């Protein structure tokens, strides 16, 4: 864990996801843009236990440094597939 990650008071919630897979994809997208992020899981065992990586009853929160919040939201908004 980097020194920045250890000081969580500077980290803020960016977006809520239904499962860790979706949140992990967002982490990869932000990482590709140079924006650090971490996942805070609100339900470590998921709906059906740790073997099933489906939707979490309590959700998964994507955290970013407060100084990168707007940039992270913009990057994630641009990364969403457009419906036709």
Give the domain ranges of the chain: 3-76
pLDDT band at 1 (very low <50, low <70, confident <90, very high): very low
**Encoded tokens for 49:** 């236990």
**From edge to edge, which strands make up the β-sheet containing 60-65?**
11-17, 60-65, 38-41
Q: Quote the distance between the C-alpha of residue 51 and its chain's center.
A: 20
> If one looks up domain 3-76 in CATH, what number appears?
3.30.70
Which residue has tokens 């707007």?
70
Q: Is this structure's pTM higher than 0.95?
A: no
Residue 72 confidence (pLDDT): 98
Rounded-to-integer distance, Cα 38 and Cα 7, Å: 12
Per-residue pLDDT tens for 24-61? 999 999 999 999 999 998 655 555 555 445 556 678 99
Average pLDDT, rounded, for the chain = 81
- d(CA 67, CA 13) in angstroms, rounded, equals 12
């Amino acid at each position: 864990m980097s020194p920045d990650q250890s000081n969580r008071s500077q980290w803020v919630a960016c977006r809520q996801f239904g499962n860790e897979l979706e949140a992990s994809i967002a982490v990869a997208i932000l990482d590709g843009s140079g924006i650090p992020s971490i996942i805070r899981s609100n339900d470590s065992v998921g709906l059906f236990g740790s073997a099933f990586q489906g939707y979490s009853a309590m959700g998964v929160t994507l955290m970013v440094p407060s100084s990168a919040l707007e940039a992270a939201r913009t990057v994630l908004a641009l990364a969403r597939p457009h419906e036709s």
